Chains A and B, each alone.
Chain A
Amino acid sequence: MVAPVAVNRRDTRRRFEQWVRNTGCEANLVSAVHNIKMGTVARVENPQAPREGQSVFALARGRTFEAGLVKDGGARLIEALQRHEVFETPDPGFLDFRTTANGGALADLDAAILRTEAFLRALAQDVPSGTDPAKRFEGVVSSATVRIPKGVMLPEATLIIDAITVTWVDNRPMISVGEIKTYSDRGGHTSRGDLAVARAQMGLYVHALQLVCETLGIHDRIEVSDRGFLVLTFPGSNVPSVRIGEELKYQVERARRGFDLLEKSAATLPELFGGERDGEDGDERVDESHDENYRDLVDVVLKAPTAFGDQCLSFCERADACFERALREGDGAILGDDVARFLNGLSLDRADELMGGSRPHSEAERDFLRRMRSPLDAEGARR
């Protein structure tokens, strides 16, 4: 029996990726662990804080593209995969585990999790019984939903996988994870950043599927491949462009280590854990800002130490406020992470004074001035 899942705690992948972006920031850690959106915190700090968000048109296109792929029994998606000879059978099957909220038939995520687990068990049962190859499932599953069964930080970690394929290798089912994105496939020039995000996402899904199979005791009967596939678009059209054989070995390892580290980091915040946290299961709050506990947690994030860095500009809505703070504190990170490292503990204000002719008072300051000198200028007089 799957325990009901709190809606506000479900977006595990987003929270995990948020934490990975800046693991040195305690505020980021608290925000990720307790699912306190940084946007909410940013607007408490500064009501004018910019709202990060996705384009409404991009969201609509994403929905349309995905819906187009899975309609009519996933005909378009299957056809795109068949062009790469993914399946041996000429007539691959299609299962749709989408919830009603996403245009599917299942009532909610809990139902999707149950269906996915039942599907995995059934797949494993086909192995020892030597099911007639014609009767065993080979094809695509849309929106397979898994819950990471262990975890200190996120007992209810839920992941919805855009698509998985099931093929058979040596009479064992092999599951490959797929990710659907609307950005265009421009061959070797496809945005490296976008591809990295998609691959990291798939690595996390592979890790989650491996954990689920282990928990269900079927990991020796089902192989979760460390090669996935991407479904992108051809530029300027809605025609899917599939990239198979995406190497995910290191992304899986990243996810595994990341979750371990996140759990360890989360364990350093004991005062925020307790009965309250576990008791939230099933609590499907809509407007969290009116929740007293939530407001308390926002306050905790606000008071937690921050560590501003270059990466904050790309994902955190508090980046502006943290930049201001870093500027006031003379943190070299405002000029880039390399400057913070170069200053080696020296404040930017002091570095400024030293560059202006102030006498150095310590070996660290003398070292700074030495390193600031151009190697050519040092001997330039001889030229």
Chain B
Amino acid sequence: MMVMTQENKTERYDRIFEQEFMPQIDALYTFAYHLTYNEDDANDLVQETYLKAFRFIDKYDEGTNAKAWLFKILKNAFINQYRKKAKQPNRVDYEEIVGYHDEEDTNFSSYMDLREEMFQGMMGDEVTNAINALPVDFRVVILLCDIEGFTYEEISKIIDIPIGTVRSRLHRARNLLKTKLQEYAESLGFKDKRS
């Protein structure tokens, strides 16, 4: 049986850190920035994530999903540090959102032509604002799924919610975005096709 000496343990941890953890820093920073919208806070969050990852590196199985593991650490750090400080947008009342969308969804298909016009690049920065204005719980699933390409199962593990909730939250987040984009379109003179 091979006994792991302190020296080869250190070498192994250094290798994991350099080869598996550090390559994820761009994705982690993008995620942190879109959670906090503040460069200093994003820096602090990413730094805290890496320090925690290193502290608990013996809990990580080499060659497994480092990206998902680090994202989970970052998400927990965000909740612990930043929700307490209330620097991020308020959590939403899901019932309010659900009720609102149930009402909107009945006529949703009539938005399709309008949205197609919007996809021609006419909207500019208002679209970015719509994404930024999403409640944080909805923004998180959009970022994890659409930007980082995590599976529903991975997202479920990262943010500790059932897969069914991941699916419904994504559905609502996308519908909320579509609704927000529709409002912007109307403010720029696009007509709601229902009227």
A and B: partners? no
Residues on A lying within 8 angstroms of B by beta carbon are none
